[in-house]
Amino acid sequence: MKKVMMMMAMLAVSFAAQAQSKFHDVEVNEATGPVKSISQNMMGHEQVVNFTKEGKMQSEDISNAVYDAEGYLQSVNRSAQGMTIEVKYKWENGRVVSQSMSVMGQEMVSKLTYNDKGAVASQSMDMGGQEMSIPFTDYKYDDHGNWISRKTSMMGQEMEQTRKIEYYE
Over residues 31-58, the pLDDT tens digits come to 989 999 999 876 677 888 899 999 898 8
| Contact (Cβ atoms closer than 8 angstroms) between residue 78 and residue 61 | yes
| Contact (Cβ atoms closer than 8 angstroms) between residue 28 and residue 73 | yes
Over residues 108-152, the pLDDT tens digits come to 888 999 988 889 999 998 766 778 888 999 999 999 999 999 998
What's the rounded Cα separation, in Å, for the pair 132 and 126? Answer: 7
What's the rounded Cα separation, in Å, for the pair 56 and 72? Answer: 10
- Residues 6 or more apart from 97 whose CB is under 8 A from it? 90, 91, 111, 112
